Amino acid sequence: MLSVSTQITPEDDLLVFARMLESVQFADEIIVFNMERDDKDVLALFRQYQVEVINIPVPPVVEHIRSDQIKRAHEDWVLVMDFDEVIPHDLASEIKTIMDNSGSCSAYAIGRDNFSLGSPLRHGGWERDYVLRLIRRADFIDWPKNIHSTPRVKGCTVKTVHSMEHHKDANLSQMVRKTNRYSAIEAQLFFAGHLTPVTPVTLIRKPVMEFIRRYFLKRGFLDGTIGLIQSLYQSYSVFITYAKLYELQQHSHK
């Protein structure tokens, strides 16, 4: 009845990936889109959890493969998971109940409780968010390829009662690698949108405002040390994006 479709890249943490695979063992099928990873440890996990592996090149963003993740599944329902998400027992029970009742809607948005470096994030704009991930395959239309897009389905959607865990930052090295990749994409989008030229004021104002927004306005300070780390880091991420935009703008004038 239920397929789980997920993905793994060369930079993803294997311990986090293993926790995700363990948490979805109630599914009838697990499909992993393997993005150019071939180390012996990940191959051992594939064998241990008896997953179906589909080897693909690393896409610019994961949204480029989301439609295939739905269409390549064989069961009636598809649960799309990222490598760093975990399904707790209460959510697993709720999903099984939905399957047993054939689902009252075409798709279900699942709440995510976010964690960074092992600590929960309850403020700063990282409080629970909802992602449309449990989808009846027959009602799936498509999944736009732009970053952070939402799938299109026929019929109604509804939120689940229980939520999953999203361990979005296993370590700081992973955070930096992710920032380097996504900042380049965002800078390209800004450049294509013909944003005004980046100035020294831009490079100061944007990061400072991001820190104020995260730490004070959205009360990231209530999360303690991890709230401060995240607020400062997001400020840095914004700076890198606009610095890369500046670089693109300078090269376009040459």
Q: Give start and end residues of each alpha helix (H) in the chain.
A: 14-23, 40-48, 66-71, 89-100, 172-192, 200-211, 225-252
pTM for the predicted model, two decimal places:
0.93
Residue 253 confidence (pLDDT): 78
156 and 239 share one domain:
no
Residue 107 confidence (pLDDT): 97
Could you report the average pLDDT of every consecutive run of 10 residues in the chain (254 residues)? 96 95 98 97 97 96 97 97 98 95 91 97 96 98 95 97 95 92 94 96 98 98 98 98 97 82
14 and 78 share one domain:
yes
User: Of the candidates 169, 193, 208, which is a domain's last residue?
Assistant: 169
Helix (H, G, I), strand (E, B) or coil at 9: coil
42 and 163 share one domain:
yes
Which residue range is the domain that position 192 belongs to? 172-252
98 and 135 share one domain:
yes
Closest by CA to 143, choosing from 60, 59, 67, is 67
177 and 139 share one domain:
no
211 and 176 share one domain:
yes
User: Of the candidates 126, 148, 169, which is a domain's last residue?
Assistant: 169
**Domain with 44 in it: what CATH number?**
3.90.550.10
Residue 50 confidence (pLDDT): 97
Residue 35 confidence (pLDDT): 97
Residue 219 confidence (pLDDT): 98
Helix (H, G, I), strand (E, B) or coil at 93: helix
What domain count does the chain have?
Answer: 2
Counting beta carbons within 10 angstroms of the beta carbon of residue 100, is it exposed (0 to 12), middle (13 to 18) or buried (19 or more)?
exposed
188 and 147 share one domain:
no
User: Of the candidates 148, 169, 190, which is a domain's last residue?
Assistant: 169
Residues sharing a CB contact under 8 Å with residue 26, sequence separation 6 or more, in sequence order: 2, 92, 95, 96
Closest by CA to 234, choosing from 185, 162, 188, 182, is 182
Six-digit token pair at 185?
Answer: 């994409």
Give the DSSP H/E element, type plus range, for residue 112: strand 107-116
230 and 215 share one domain:
yes
Residue 106 confidence (pLDDT): 96
7 and 129 share one domain:
yes
58 and 19 share one domain:
yes
118 and 8 share one domain:
yes
97 and 211 share one domain:
no
The residues pairing with 52 across neighbouring beta strands, listed in sequence order, are 31
Residue 104 confidence (pLDDT): 82
Q: Phi and psi at residue 159, in whole multiples of 5°?
A: -90, 145
